[in-house]
Amino acid sequence: MRAATAERIVVIGHVNHDRIWRLTEPLQAGGRLFWSSRDTRLGGGGYFTARRLHDLGHPVAILSNLMTDGHGDRAMADLGAQGLDTGLITRVTGDTDFADILLDPKGERTILSNERRLSREFTLARPLSDTIFYVNAPLLPETIRASLDRARLVVSQLPLRRADQRPADIMIGSKADMPGRGMADLWSLAADLAGPRLRYLVMTDGPEAISIYDGTREVTVVPAERVQVRDTIGAGDSFSGGVIHALLGEADIVEAVRMAADLTADWLAAREQETAAMTTEKSTL
Let me know if residue 27 belongs to a domain.
Answer: no
DSSP code, position 209? P
- Position 25 in a domain: no
pLDDT of residue 104: 85
Q: Which CATH number fits the domain that encloses residue 268?
A: 3.40.1190.20
Quote the pTM value: 0.89
Is 180 among the domain residues? yes
- Say how far apart CA 214 and CA 205 lie, in whole Å: 18
Domain for residue 28, yes or no? no
Query: What's the CA gap between 76 and 88, in Å, rounded?
Result: 11
The verdict on residue 174 lying in a domain is yes
Q: Are strands 200-204 and 170-174 parallel, antiparallel or unpaired?
A: parallel
Mean pLDDT of the chain: 90
- Could you tell me which residues are beta bridge partners of residue 276? none
Q: Tell me whether residue 266 is in a domain.
A: yes
Q: Are 193 and 157 in contact (CB under 8 A)?
A: no
pLDDT value of position 243: 98
225 located within any domain: yes
Backbone angles phi, psi at 184, to 5 degrees: -65, -40
Whether residue 149 has pLDDT greater than 70: yes
Model pLDDT for residues 85-133, shown as the tens digit of each residue: 999 999 999 999 888 888 888 777 788 877 665 567 899 999 999 999 9
265: left (phi over 0), alpha (psi -120 to 50) or beta: alpha
How many domains does the chain contain in total?
1
| 164 occurs within a structural domain | yes
Band of residue 230 on the pLDDT scale cut at 50, 70, 90: confident
Query: In angstroms, rounded to a whole number, what is the distance separating the alpha carbons of residues 104 and 43?
Result: 18
Range of the domain at 265: 9-16+44-98+121-284
Dist CA 44 CA 152 (whole Å):
25
